[in-house]
Structure 1
């Protein structure tokens, strides 16, 4: 018996709808949360579009932010810098920029860390740049010294291998110590015991844009854990065993993996397959931690404490050149809700040669330079397209 034409049409439509449904689930890039279904659709740097203040609850300046305000509107947060005495001029430059564009309105304290005592000149000149309180702290020896389980002969041999791959600072033991301290020890300093939020500031950086809201209150009131401006690829030969060690850790602690994680960003192999291959499954995408605004509650969590201790015992901070940027980024990408990681697109920032340059009348002296077309945007060292692809702009 022949099937009526309307029934055949309905059946064909049902088959086509079912095929479309399957395609939407299993197509390449399914599950991508960012703007567009592929990197090819990111035709230009989003900072070329007009940039305003972020959405969400914002608190602007008032008399409650004056240096001696009592009560004060400031929350328990600090501007934080690990800096040497000989980096004084570079630190003054960074302070002047950030005080001019933001902190003179809010007067958050500065906390400086060093593995040797600060000179009186350093203290005098930095305090003269700000009306806010400055704190000068010495890093405990047990936080800075090379751990007892690191084999010196193996370290020296490892340095040779790193140098063969042109890994910068491979032979500088102080650089390895710094990376370890920034990764898992800075937030344990007694001076920060009662501090929750920090804004990391490096010497010789620039801030270009006037920011008129309290960024720490923004983080707190909008439930954000971590803020970044720049997102880059790392040198894969500096971290060849970081991801394998992470996989070992996850095998023992799968309970720490967040349901809304950014693992696809951490492990992407489409845009830079050679990086993924050389880094043993890690994309090498990382937040440029020379700028980071963070909630130390995350670093103090059991998940991160266990993860750092696992990495520390593995020795990669010395036998390789694991930086705090990839360590922080992998941990955030796996253990935190990705919606709590925020791109501060409105904060103009430069750490030569990298920069974040918003299109805003509040920005002065910041030029977009090479971010002028899709090809330049997609072929540079910037990994933000991958973050936008898998997570969104936050």
Structure 2
């Protein structure tokens, strides 16, 4: 019962009981840095870092089909040689608040895992990793519920998609379940590690001292990044260290950067596809990065009217505050697909 008392009181009691019931006694320990469970392969060889896989299972209240998620998670267990069995966090807006809903998901997860030919031992290891994390998303003040008061550029999936973009752009780094981790890997429910990989991505980040890994970097269209070029440019001009970092990283600006009107209008913004988003959390919680997040959050229209996405903003954050050649990695070694599109792979060299 002492372990239960140390867990964050915001989690529903049913979630805590089910969660602990699924943990092997030797696998669960409490981090001295926070009140959440931290996993290790054994007490004799504790991991030198903490990590989690993150899925945003639902953003809005109400039913949501878990079918794609139930295909993604077993492939993750099957095709990655995990050095440590870190938790898989299912962030949700009430879909898994009840014990029955959680048990039903875990039953279906066992079924889908058997379809993927996981061994009984691997299936139980996977079930033990699942953690249901309630997460709320609310419209900012001044944003109407109907989403049409000021003719937003993107009204599709209103406001779920806009919540998602703002959450992964900056809010995730202050989430109580995530902020004290060393690493997280965010995947979409239609993300798949389709074939066996030769290393654990978290272990890769640790061994090579990387802060950000991505899978692809296509640009985001100019019509959904309206105002983003001036926003980043103005911030850099007010912060000489950011300006210097952007220059060192070879960040490319559109022409006429310092003209007062029309700068960047309609120009595509570079981005990282964040359906695969592997992050060293402390590098995104520095005072400098947090100051940028506060500035970003100061005008909610950026997300809710102009549909700014987390993909171009992640690119901006990395180039503004990290050493891109030293800290980033295109993790093409993992055989990865998003939706029905296989990404280009490269040779995987074991650690």
Matches within 5 A, 1:213-362: 213-257=199-243, 259=245, 264-267=250-253, 279-280=264-265, 283-315=268-300, 316-339=302-325, 340-352=327-339, 354-358=341-345, 360=347
- Report the CA distance shift for 1:258/1:350 in structure 2 as closer, same or farther (over 3 A): farther
Give 2:138's match in structure 1, choosing from 127, 135, 145: 145
Q: Distance in 2 between matches of 1:210 and 1:180?
A: 33
Cα–Cα, structure 1 residues 267 and 71, in superposed 2: closer, same or farther, change >3 Å? farther
How big is the shift at 1:314? 2.2
Aligned-partner SS, 1:217: helix
**Which of structures 1 and 2 has the larger relative contact order (alpha carbons within 8 angstroms, sep 6+)?**
1
- The answer on whether the counterparts of 1:227 and 1:341 sit within 8 Å (CA) in structure 2 is yes
Q: Which residue matches 2:164?
A: 178
1:96 is paired with a residue of what secondary structure?
A: helix
Structure 2 unaligned blocks of 5 or more: 1-26, 28-38, 114-122, 256-261
Change (3 A) 1:237 1:211: same
Q: How does 1:1-394 map to 2 (within 5 A)?
A: 69-74=42-47, 75-84=49-58, 86-103=64-81, 106-118=84-96, 119-120=101-102, 121-126=104-109, 129=113, 130=123, 131-132=125-126, 133-139=129-135, 141=136, 144-148=137-141, 150-152=142-144, 156-158=148-150, 160=151, 162=153, 167=154, 170=156, 172-257=158-243, 259=245, 264-267=250-253, 279-280=264-265, 283-315=268-300, 316-339=302-325, 340-352=327-339, 354-358=341-345, 360=347
In structure 2, what is the Cα distance between the partners aligned to 1:261 and 1:73? 40
CA contact (8 A) 2:254 2:263 kept: no
- 1:332 positional shift: 0.6
| Count of matched residue positions in the alignment of Structure 1 and Structure 2 | 281
Deviations 1:210-261 (A, max 9, x none): 2232321221232211001111121211111112112222222222345475
SS at match of 1:303: helix
Aligned partners of 1:145, 1:337: CA distance in 2, in Å? 34
Structure 1 window deviating more from structure 2 (171-180 vs 347-356): it is 347-356
Q: More deviation in 254-263 or 83-92? A: 254-263
1:73, CA displacement in angstroms?
A: 4.9
How far the C-alpha of 1:78 sits from its partner, in A, is 0.7
Partners of 1:172 and 1:223 lie apart in 2 by: 39
Q: Any idea what SS the aligned residue of 1:216 has? A: helix
Task: Report the alpha carbon displacement of residue 126 of structure 1 after superposing the two structures with TM.
Answer: 4.0
More moved, 176-185 vs 71-80: 71-80
TM-score (norm 2): 0.70
Per-residue CA deviation, residues 282-304 of structure 1 (Å, 9 max, x unaligned), is: 64121100101110112212222
After superposition, the Cα gap between the structure-2 partners of 1:176 and 1:266, relative to the gap in structure 1 and judged at 3 Å, is: farther
Q: Pick closer, same or farther for the CA change 1:341–1:305 going to 2, 3 Å.
A: same
Q: Is the 8 A contact 1:260 1:336 kept in 2?
A: no
**Inter-CA distance 252–153: structure 2 relative to 1 (3 Å threshold):** farther
Name the Cα RMSD after superposition. 3.0
Given that 2:249 and 2:323 are in contact with CA atoms closer than 8 Å, whether structure 1 keeps it comes out as no
What SS does the corresponding residue of 1:285 show, helix, strand or coil?
Answer: coil
For 1:127 and 1:184, locate their aligned partners in 2 and report how far apart those are by CA, in whole Å.
Answer: 34
1:341 and 1:298 map into 2 onto residues whose CA distance is 12
Q: Which runs of no fewer than 5 residues in structure 1 stay unpaired?
A: 1-63, 270-276, 363-394
Alignment TM-score, normalising by the size of structure 1 = 0.63
User: Is the Cα contact below 8 Å between 1:199 and 1:293 reproduced in 2?
Assistant: yes
Q: 1:296 to 1:361 in 2, by over 3 A?
A: closer
Q: How far 1:138 sits from its partner (Å)?
A: 0.7
Moved more, 199-208 or 337-346: 199-208
Larger Rg belongs to? 1
